[in-house]
Structure 1
Amino acid sequence: MSEYHDFYVARLAEHSTVPTLLCGHCRSILSPKRIFANDGENRYSLPCDIIGLCSADDCGAVNCCDEAMKGAEQQHYENRVAV
């Protein structure tokens, strides 16, 4: 597999009821079906554990989702505590 030098960092959507990851390039919503662990057959030469592929027609960016996923987990935890 070829090496990826250009990638983007996914962002966690602000003020979203459901944790939503956005493409770091075009800000489109990253589909949960296109977010996966960076290992095995899905291995990309990127310094991150979770990859998200943008499915927007004119984008197709590869996103590192590590920080956004940590933020989503924190948001989920805070919502559980508030109940």
Structure 2
Amino acid sequence: MSEYHDFYTAQLAENSTVPTLLCGHCRSILPAKRIFANEGENRYDLPCDTIGLCSADDCGAVNCCDEAMRAADRERDENRIAV
């Protein structure tokens, strides 16, 4: 059973020049320093590979970033093709 009963799915910000992940709970920007691989000693018991911790004072949600990261990769690949 997961240690975190409530976790959220991060979203990729639309129309952003730089790929930006948003908290799935409060829609605040997830700082790059608080996005990390879900492995090793600090592994969160969540079914995802990348975790983002919201730094908003009134939130602090744990986010799964897998889908948002894949969307950012797809967007980057599409932009590379369009050039």
Give the TM-score band, short-chain normalised.
over 0.9
Instruction: Extract unaligned runs of 5+ from structure 2.
Output: none
Task: Indicate the SS of the match to 1:51.
Answer: strand
Q: 2:9 is matched with which residue?
A: 9
Percent of counterpart pairs with the same letter?
A: 80
Quick check: 1:50 aligned with 2:50? yes
- C-alpha RMSD of the superposition: 1.1
TM-score when normalising by structure 1: 0.94
Q: Shift of the alpha carbon at 1:42?
A: 2.5
Instruction: Extract unaligned runs of 5+ from structure 1.
Output: none
Q: Distance in 1 between matches of 2:49 and 2:64?
A: 8
Q: Distance in 2 between matches of 1:32 and 1:42?
A: 17
TM-score when normalising by structure 2: 0.94
Q: Distance in 2 between matches of 1:49 and 1:78?
A: 23
How many residues get paired?
82
